[in-house]
C-alpha cells in the first residue's frame, strides 16, 4: 500500500472509532439517567413536600452519571484531534 | 476549525510555556479579585446591589453546605475552599462564552494561535483543581482521624476488610482523575460543540447552545464543590 492510501485508511478508521466510542459510550449513561429521573419523579409524586430535596439530589446524581458519558466523549475527541 | 486538545503556547518565560488557557486563568483571577475589591471597599450596612447579590449567593451556598455537614462551624471551616472552587470554576466557564474567546488570534508564521481559551478547556487547569480538592480531602482525613485514617486503606482485621481496603485505595486514586476529566470533558465538549454549530450556521442557531453552556458551566462548578464537600464529610468520620 502506498503512503497516500494508508493515510486515507487511517483517517477513516479514526472517524469510525470516534463514532463508535461516543455512540456505544452513551448507551449506558442514557439508560441510567432515565432510570434515575423516573425514580426521582416517582418519589416526588408520592411525597410532594420533599420535592426540593429530591430535585437537588437528582441534579447532583445526574452530573455523576453524565460524567461517564463525558469520559466516552473525551476519548472520541482524543481519537479525532490528537 | 481551530480545535485542539492541547492549549496553544503564547510565549515562553524561562523554560515555562505560557499557554492561552493559563492567560485566561489570570484574567479570571483578575475579574474575581476586582469584584471582591470593589465590594470590600464599598461595604455598607444597607447593601448596594452588587453587595446584596454576592451576599445572597454566599448565604445560599452556606445553607447548602449546612445540609451536608449538619453544623454551622464545620461549614464555616470548609466554606473558603468550596466557595473559591465554585466561584473560580463558574467564572472561568462563563468567561469562555464571551465573544473573543477563540476568535482573537495571532499568526505565528504558519500557525494560528487564539489569544483566549476557556480556562477549564485545558486539562492542566482541571487537573490542578482536582489535585487541590484531593489533597484537601486527604489532609482533612488525617486531621480528624489522626493516623487511624490509614486503617481505612490497610486493614488486617480480616480477609474481606483487607480487600475493602484495597478497593478504597483504588477509589481514592480515581477521585482526582474523575474530577479532572468530568470538568474538562464537559467544558471542552461544550467548546467543540459551539465551534461546530457556529461554523455551520452562524446566525441565531448557536443561541440555545450558548444557553446550554451557561447552564452546564454553572452545574459543573456546583457539582465540583458539592462532590468535594461530600468527600470531605466522609473522611471526617470513620465508618
Domain residue ranges of chain B, discontinuous segments joined by +:
9-236
Residue B28 and residue B116 in contact, taking contact as beta carbons nearer than 8 Å: no
| pLDDT value for B182 | 92
Contact B188 A71 (CB under 8 A): no
Contact A77 B4 (CB under 8 A): no
Residue B27 and residue B91 in contact, taking contact as beta carbons nearer than 8 Å: no
The answer, for A63 touching chain B at a CB cutoff of 8 Å, is yes
Q: What is the dihedral of CA B4, B6, B12, B13, to 10 degrees?
A: 150
- B45 min Cα distance to partner chain A (Å): 32
- Residue B239 confidence class, pLDDT cut points 50, 70, 90: low
Residues 8-37 of chain A with CB under 8 A from chain B are none
Residue B89 and residue B120 in contact, taking contact as beta carbons nearer than 8 Å: yes
Alpha-carbon gap, residue B234 to B78, rounded angstroms? 13
| pLDDT value for B80 | 93
Alpha-carbon gap, residue B112 to B108, rounded angstroms? 6
Q: What is the 3-state secondary structure (H, E, C) of B105-136?
A: EEEECCEEEECCCCHHHCHHHHHHHHHHHHHH
Q: What is the pLDDT of residues A32-75, one digit of tens each?
A: 999 999 999 999 999 999 888 888 888 888 888 888 898 898 89
Q: What is the pLDDT of residues B32-77, one digit of tens each?
A: 999 999 888 888 777 788 888 888 989 988 988 888 888 888 888 8
All domains in chain A, ordered by first residue? 3-81 (1.20.20.10)
- The mean predicted confidence, pLDDT, of chain B is 88
Selected residue with higher pLDDT from B174 and B155: B174
ipTM exceeding the 0.90 mark? no
Percent pLDDT > 70 in chain B is 99
Amino acid at each position: 500500500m502506498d503512503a497516500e492510501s494508508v493515510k486515507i485508511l487511517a483517517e477513516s478508521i479514526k472517524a469510525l472509532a470516534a463514532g463508535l466510542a461516543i455512540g456505544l459510550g452513551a448507551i449506558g449513561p442514557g439508560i441510567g439517567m432515565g432510570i434515575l429521573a423516573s425514580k426521582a419523579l416517582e418519589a416526588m409524586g408520592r411525597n410532594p413536600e420533599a420535592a426540593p430535596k429530591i430535585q437537588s439530589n437528582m441534579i447532583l446524581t445526574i452530573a455523576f452519571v453524565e460524567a461517564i458519558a463525558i469520559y466516552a466523549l473525551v476519548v472520541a475527541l482524543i481519537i479525532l484531534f490528537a | 476549525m481551530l480545535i485542539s486538545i492541547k492549549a496553544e503556547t503564547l510565549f515562553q518565560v524561562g523554560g515555562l510555556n505560557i499557554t492561552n488557557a493559563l492567560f485566561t486563568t489570570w484574567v479570571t483571577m483578575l475579574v474575581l479579585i476586582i469584584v471582591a475589591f470593589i465590594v470590600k471597599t464599598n461595604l455598607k450596612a444597607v447593601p448596594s446591589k452588587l453587595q446584596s447579590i454576592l451576599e445572597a449567593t454566599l448565604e445560599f451556598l452556606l445553607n447548602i453546605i449546612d445540609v451536608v455537614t449538619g453544623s454551622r462551624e464545620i461549614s464555616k471551616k470548609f466554606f473558603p475552599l468550596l466557595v473559591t472552587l465554585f466561584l473560580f470554576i463558574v467564572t472561568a466557564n462563563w468567561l469562555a462564552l464571551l465573544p473573543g474567546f477563540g476568535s482573537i488570534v495571532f499568526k505565528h508564521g504558519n500557525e494560528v494561535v487564539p489569544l483566549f481559551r476557556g480556562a477549564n478547556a485545558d486539562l492542566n487547569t482541571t487537573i490542578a483543581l482536582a489535585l487541590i480538592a484531593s489533597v484537601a480531602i486527604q489532609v482533612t482525613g488525617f486531621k480528624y482521624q489522626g493516623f487511624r485514617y490509614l486503617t481505612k486503606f490497610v486493614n488486617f482485621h480480616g480477609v474481606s476488610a483487607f480487600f475493602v481496603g484495597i478497593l478504597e485505595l483504588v477509589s481514592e486514586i480515581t477521585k482526582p482523575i474523575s474530577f479532572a476529566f468530568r470538568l474538562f470533558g464537559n467544558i471542552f465538549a461544550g467548546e467543540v460543540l459551539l465551534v461546530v454549530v457556529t461554523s455551520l450556521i452562524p446566525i441565531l442557531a448557536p443561541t440555545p447552545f450558548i444557553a446550554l453552556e451557561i447552564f452546564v458551566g454553572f452545574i459543573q462548578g456546583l457539582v465540583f464543590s458539592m462532590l468535594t464537600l461530600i468527600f470531605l464529610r466522609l473522611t471526617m468520620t470513620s465508618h
